[in-house]
Amino acid sequence: MSMTNSRSRRKPTGGRYVDYRKKRVFELRREPNLTKLGARKVKTFRGRGASIKKILMQAETANVYNPKTKKYSTAKIKTIVDNKANRHFVIRNILTKGTVIDTDLGKAKVTSRPGQEGTVNAVLL
């Protein structure tokens, strides 16, 4: 069964809404992509309006910004230290925005959305 972003079938009281239409194509969505640590793997999808979307499935490097020198450099991701989105993502090595990662340059916080943008950008802490 396809996933949709339409209204819930249940009211806040627990009763059911009466369906007034079927699912629409513009309401469809995909399952969430959980970017993991590993050799770089990217998938491309055709979006609405024929736009191309790159989804990062696995990553091993990050573009790390150093605020002191004001420059970017590529660093290898060693491990995931903390994740405010979900504490279980740390155990599963899942990258999301806000994840604190340990790199060759030190600890950094992910500022991009890897599952949406196709890159991992981070700022040194």
Q: How far apart are CA 63 and CA 89, in angstroms?
A: 21
pTM above 0.85, yes or no: no
pLDDT band at 1 (very low <50, low <70, confident <90, very high): low
Q: Which of 116, 38, 36 is nearest to 83 (CA)?
A: 36
Number of CB atoms found within 10 A of residue 66's CB: 15
Structure tokens at 40: 């770089």
Q: How many domains does the chain divide into?
A: 1
Cβ–Cβ under 8 Å, residues 111 and 99 = no
CATH code, domain carrying 52:
3.10.290.70
The reply to whether 24 falls in a domain is no
pLDDT band at 110 (very low <50, low <70, confident <90, very high): very high
The reply to whether 11 falls in a domain is no
pLDDT value at residue 48:
83
Which structural domain, as residue segments, surrounds residue 37? Answer: 29-124
Structure tokens at 104: 């060759």
pLDDT band at 29 (very low <50, low <70, confident <90, very high): confident
The reply to whether 63 falls in a domain is yes
The reply to whether 93 falls in a domain is yes
Q: What is the DSSP letter of 50?
A: G
The reply to whether 13 falls in a domain is no
pLDDT value at residue 45:
86
List pLDDT tens digits, range 63-87: 999 999 999 999 999 999 999 999 9
What 3-state class would DSSP assign to 107?
Answer: strand
